[in-house]
Amino acid sequence: MFFNALTSSIVSVLDKDQFLYTRLFDVLSGELPHDTMDALLPRIEEILSGPPQSLLTVAIGGVIWTASSVIEGIRHVLNKALRVSAPPPYILGRMFSILQFLIIVAVMMLSVLFAVLVPIIFEVVGRHWEFLRFVVSKVVLFIAVSWIYFMVPNVRQNILVVLPGAAVVTATWTLTSMAFSWYLSTFQVLKTIYGNLTGIIAAMLFFYILSIFFIYGAELNYRLSNRHSSVHI
Protein backbone atom coordinates (compact mmCIF):
# COMPACT_ATOMS: atom_id res chain seq x y z
CA MET A 1 0.00 0.00 0.00
CA PHE A 2 2.89 2.36 0.79
CA PHE A 3 4.41 1.59 -2.60
CA ASN A 4 0.99 2.09 -4.22
CA ALA A 5 0.53 5.56 -2.71
CA LEU A 6 4.11 6.61 -3.42
CA THR A 7 3.99 5.49 -7.04
CA SER A 8 0.60 7.13 -7.57
CA SER A 9 1.98 10.42 -6.28
CA ILE A 10 5.00 10.21 -8.57
CA VAL A 11 2.69 9.42 -11.50
CA SER A 12 0.70 12.59 -10.88
CA VAL A 13 3.88 14.67 -10.90
CA LEU A 14 5.48 13.10 -13.98
CA ASP A 15 2.15 13.44 -15.83
CA LYS A 16 2.64 10.25 -17.87
CA ASP A 17 5.83 11.40 -19.63
CA GLN A 18 7.14 8.18 -21.18
CA PHE A 19 10.75 9.39 -21.28
CA LEU A 20 10.73 10.23 -17.57
CA TYR A 21 9.12 6.87 -16.79
CA THR A 22 11.92 5.13 -18.64
CA ARG A 23 14.45 7.08 -16.62
CA LEU A 24 12.64 6.23 -13.38
CA PHE A 25 12.72 2.52 -14.20
CA ASP A 26 16.43 2.79 -15.02
CA VAL A 27 17.09 4.31 -11.59
CA LEU A 28 15.09 1.63 -9.77
CA SER A 29 16.73 -1.14 -11.78
CA GLY A 30 20.13 0.12 -10.73
CA GLU A 31 19.23 0.01 -7.03
CA LEU A 32 17.11 -3.15 -6.65
CA PRO A 33 17.81 -6.82 -7.44
CA HIS A 34 16.47 -8.00 -10.79
CA ASP A 35 13.90 -10.43 -9.37
CA THR A 36 12.65 -7.76 -6.97
CA MET A 37 12.08 -5.40 -9.89
CA ASP A 38 10.23 -8.20 -11.71
CA ALA A 39 7.81 -8.35 -8.78
CA LEU A 40 7.36 -4.58 -8.52
CA LEU A 41 7.05 -3.63 -12.20
CA PRO A 42 3.63 -5.26 -12.73
CA ARG A 43 2.30 -3.17 -9.85
CA ILE A 44 3.76 -0.01 -11.39
CA GLU A 45 2.23 -0.83 -14.77
CA GLU A 46 -1.13 -1.51 -13.10
CA ILE A 47 -1.04 1.94 -11.50
CA LEU A 48 0.05 3.66 -14.71
CA SER A 49 -2.79 2.05 -16.69
CA GLY A 50 -5.31 2.63 -13.90
CA PRO A 51 -8.32 4.97 -13.68
CA PRO A 52 -8.35 8.60 -14.84
CA GLN A 53 -6.42 11.15 -12.84
CA SER A 54 -9.59 12.70 -11.39
CA LEU A 55 -10.70 9.37 -9.92
CA LEU A 56 -7.18 8.70 -8.69
CA THR A 57 -7.23 12.05 -6.87
CA VAL A 58 -10.45 11.10 -5.06
CA ALA A 59 -9.07 7.71 -4.06
CA ILE A 60 -5.69 8.98 -2.91
CA GLY A 61 -7.13 10.17 0.43
CA GLY A 62 -8.11 6.65 1.42
CA VAL A 63 -4.80 5.30 0.17
CA ILE A 64 -2.85 7.81 2.26
CA TRP A 65 -4.85 6.94 5.38
CA THR A 66 -4.15 3.25 4.91
CA ALA A 67 -0.52 3.76 3.89
CA SER A 68 0.13 5.86 6.99
CA SER A 69 -0.14 2.56 8.88
CA VAL A 70 3.36 1.87 7.55
CA ILE A 71 4.60 4.92 9.43
CA GLU A 72 2.69 3.75 12.51
CA GLY A 73 4.50 0.43 12.28
CA ILE A 74 7.89 2.13 11.90
CA ARG A 75 7.08 4.41 14.86
CA HIS A 76 6.14 1.40 16.99
CA VAL A 77 9.40 -0.38 16.12
CA LEU A 78 11.54 2.69 16.78
CA ASN A 79 9.73 3.41 20.06
CA LYS A 80 10.48 -0.16 21.15
CA ALA A 81 14.13 0.15 20.13
CA LEU A 82 14.51 3.50 21.92
CA ARG A 83 12.58 2.29 25.00
CA VAL A 84 9.83 4.92 24.68
CA SER A 85 7.30 4.05 27.38
CA ALA A 86 4.61 6.69 26.76
CA PRO A 87 3.57 6.91 23.08
CA PRO A 88 0.96 9.56 22.13
CA PRO A 89 -2.80 8.81 21.90
CA TYR A 90 -3.93 6.91 18.82
CA ILE A 91 -5.60 9.82 16.99
CA LEU A 92 -2.66 12.16 17.55
CA GLY A 93 -0.22 9.44 16.53
CA ARG A 94 -2.23 8.73 13.39
CA MET A 95 -2.26 12.42 12.42
CA PHE A 96 1.50 12.58 12.89
CA SER A 97 1.83 9.45 10.75
CA ILE A 98 -0.20 10.97 7.91
CA LEU A 99 1.85 14.17 8.03
CA GLN A 100 5.13 12.29 8.08
CA PHE A 101 3.96 10.01 5.27
CA LEU A 102 3.17 13.03 3.11
CA ILE A 103 6.59 14.50 3.88
CA ILE A 104 8.29 11.22 2.98
CA VAL A 105 6.35 11.04 -0.29
CA ALA A 106 7.34 14.62 -1.14
CA VAL A 107 11.00 13.98 -0.34
CA MET A 108 11.05 10.74 -2.34
CA MET A 109 9.35 12.44 -5.28
CA LEU A 110 12.04 15.13 -5.24
CA SER A 111 14.73 12.46 -4.95
CA VAL A 112 13.31 10.54 -7.90
CA LEU A 113 13.02 13.68 -10.01
CA PHE A 114 16.59 14.57 -9.06
CA ALA A 115 17.82 11.10 -9.98
CA VAL A 116 15.90 11.28 -13.27
CA LEU A 117 16.91 14.78 -14.34
CA VAL A 118 20.57 14.84 -13.28
CA PRO A 119 21.61 12.03 -15.68
CA ILE A 120 19.98 13.99 -18.51
CA ILE A 121 22.04 17.04 -17.60
CA PHE A 122 25.24 15.01 -17.45
CA GLU A 123 24.50 13.39 -20.80
CA VAL A 124 24.11 16.84 -22.29
CA VAL A 125 27.47 18.03 -20.95
CA GLY A 126 29.08 14.68 -21.78
CA ARG A 127 30.21 13.63 -18.31
CA HIS A 128 30.26 10.18 -16.78
CA TRP A 129 27.24 9.66 -14.53
CA GLU A 130 27.39 6.13 -13.08
CA PHE A 131 29.80 6.80 -10.22
CA LEU A 132 28.14 10.08 -9.27
CA ARG A 133 24.71 8.45 -9.38
CA PHE A 134 25.94 5.78 -6.96
CA VAL A 135 27.34 8.38 -4.56
CA VAL A 136 24.29 10.65 -4.76
CA SER A 137 21.86 7.76 -4.22
CA LYS A 138 23.73 6.66 -1.08
CA VAL A 139 23.85 10.21 0.28
CA VAL A 140 20.09 10.56 -0.30
CA LEU A 141 19.51 7.19 1.40
CA PHE A 142 21.65 8.21 4.37
CA ILE A 143 19.77 11.49 4.78
CA ALA A 144 16.38 9.74 4.47
CA VAL A 145 17.22 7.09 7.08
CA SER A 146 18.65 9.76 9.41
CA TRP A 147 15.45 11.78 9.05
CA ILE A 148 13.27 8.75 9.86
CA TYR A 149 15.36 7.88 12.93
CA PHE A 150 15.22 11.49 14.08
CA MET A 151 11.61 12.48 13.36
CA VAL A 152 9.43 9.37 13.61
CA PRO A 153 9.97 8.05 17.18
CA ASN A 154 8.20 9.82 20.05
CA VAL A 155 11.36 11.03 21.75
CA ARG A 156 13.58 14.07 21.43
CA GLN A 157 17.07 13.28 20.18
CA ASN A 158 20.20 15.07 19.11
CA ILE A 159 20.60 14.76 15.36
CA LEU A 160 24.14 13.45 15.87
CA VAL A 161 22.77 10.48 17.83
CA VAL A 162 21.04 9.00 14.78
CA LEU A 163 23.98 9.28 12.39
CA PRO A 164 25.87 6.05 13.36
CA GLY A 165 22.80 3.87 12.85
CA ALA A 166 21.93 5.63 9.59
CA ALA A 167 25.48 5.08 8.32
CA VAL A 168 25.35 1.38 9.22
CA VAL A 169 21.93 0.99 7.56
CA THR A 170 23.14 2.72 4.38
CA ALA A 171 26.20 0.46 4.19
CA THR A 172 24.35 -2.77 4.99
CA TRP A 173 21.48 -1.99 2.60
CA THR A 174 23.97 -1.32 -0.20
CA LEU A 175 25.89 -4.54 0.50
CA THR A 176 22.62 -6.48 0.83
CA SER A 177 21.42 -5.25 -2.56
CA MET A 178 24.70 -6.29 -4.19
CA ALA A 179 24.88 -9.65 -2.39
CA PHE A 180 21.20 -10.46 -3.00
CA SER A 181 21.53 -9.64 -6.70
CA TRP A 182 24.58 -11.92 -6.93
CA TYR A 183 22.79 -14.70 -5.03
CA LEU A 184 19.70 -14.60 -7.24
CA SER A 185 21.76 -14.55 -10.44
CA THR A 186 24.14 -17.32 -9.31
CA PHE A 187 21.88 -19.78 -7.53
CA GLN A 188 18.52 -21.00 -8.80
CA VAL A 189 17.16 -22.33 -5.49
CA LEU A 190 14.26 -19.86 -5.27
CA LYS A 191 13.24 -20.46 -8.88
CA THR A 192 13.34 -24.21 -8.36
CA ILE A 193 11.16 -24.03 -5.24
CA TYR A 194 8.74 -21.20 -6.04
CA GLY A 195 8.61 -21.15 -9.84
CA ASN A 196 6.50 -18.21 -11.07
CA LEU A 197 6.31 -16.79 -7.54
CA THR A 198 10.08 -16.26 -7.40
CA GLY A 199 9.87 -12.51 -7.96
CA ILE A 200 7.33 -12.00 -5.15
CA ILE A 201 9.23 -14.24 -2.71
CA ALA A 202 12.52 -12.54 -3.59
CA ALA A 203 10.99 -9.09 -3.00
CA MET A 204 9.52 -10.14 0.37
CA LEU A 205 12.81 -11.71 1.47
CA PHE A 206 14.82 -8.70 0.29
CA PHE A 207 12.71 -6.15 2.18
CA TYR A 208 12.60 -8.42 5.24
CA ILE A 209 16.40 -8.41 5.37
CA LEU A 210 16.44 -4.62 4.96
CA SER A 211 13.98 -4.25 7.85
CA ILE A 212 16.26 -6.30 10.14
CA PHE A 213 19.17 -3.96 9.45
CA PHE A 214 16.87 -0.95 9.96
CA ILE A 215 15.90 -2.19 13.44
CA TYR A 216 19.55 -2.99 14.20
CA GLY A 217 20.50 0.60 13.31
CA ALA A 218 17.93 1.96 15.77
CA GLU A 219 19.20 -0.38 18.50
CA LEU A 220 22.78 0.71 17.76
CA ASN A 221 21.82 4.37 18.14
CA TYR A 222 20.17 3.60 21.49
CA ARG A 223 23.18 1.66 22.80
CA LEU A 224 25.69 4.29 21.70
CA SER A 225 23.54 7.08 23.14
CA ASN A 226 23.31 5.30 26.51
CA ARG A 227 27.05 4.66 26.55
CA HIS A 228 27.74 8.31 25.75
CA SER A 229 25.37 9.43 28.53
CA SER A 230 26.92 7.07 31.10
CA VAL A 231 30.43 8.30 30.27
CA HIS A 232 29.40 11.90 30.99
CA ILE A 233 27.61 11.14 34.27
pLDDT digits (tens, 9 = 90+) for 176-196: 988 888 887 787 777 777 777
Average of per-residue pLDDT across 99-127: 67
Q: Is the pLDDT of residue 166 over 90?
A: yes
Domain ranges of the chain: 2-231
Q: Is the pLDDT of residue 89 over 50?
A: yes
**Cα(157)–Cα(153) distance, integer angstroms:** 9
Average of per-residue pLDDT across 100-109: 73
pLDDT band at 169 (very low <50, low <70, confident <90, very high): very high
CB burial readout 205-215, b (16+ within 10 A) else e: bbeebeeebbb
